[in-house]
């Protein structure tokens, strides 16, 4: 069973739109939307396991240029 999560992304000012577009192209990201206020972007992601989800966030999402921080909420149920 896949592990799903919402990833709250905090971006560098002026880079929010570019960050949202880049994150939306990451494999495993099902959607990425800019938000008014904080966080700047909310992404919905899926991975085969919790470990794979961690790698997706740490190695792919957090390395997008302009990402300052992330906060991940794993979906239960």
Rounded average pLDDT over 29-58: 97
Task: Give the pLDDT confidence of 3-43 residue by residue, as tens digits.
Answer: 999 999 999 999 999 999 999 999 999 999 999 999 999 99
Share of the chain above pLDDT 90, in %: 97
What is the distance between the alpha carbons of residues 42 and 58, in angstroms, rounded to a whole number? Answer: 16
Q: What is the pTM of this model?
A: 0.94
Range of the domain at 15: 3-74
Which tokens belong to 69?
A: 């921080």
Report whether 72 contacts 7 (CB < 8 A). yes
Q: For the chain, how many structural domains are there in total?
A: 1
Supply the CATH number for residue 64's domain: 3.30.70.920
What is the distance between the alpha carbons of residues 77 and 75, in angstroms, rounded to a whole number? Answer: 7
């Amino acid at each position: 069973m896949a592990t799903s999560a919402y990833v709250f992304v905090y971006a560098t000012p002026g880079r929010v739109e570019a960050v949202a577009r880049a994150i939306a192209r990451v494999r495993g990201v099902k959607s990425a939307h800019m938000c008014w206020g904080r966080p700047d972007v909310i992404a919905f992601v899926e991975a085969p396991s919790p470990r794979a989800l961690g790698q997706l966030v740490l190695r792919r999402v957090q390395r997008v240029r302009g990402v300052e921080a992330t906060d991940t909420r794993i979906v239960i149920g």
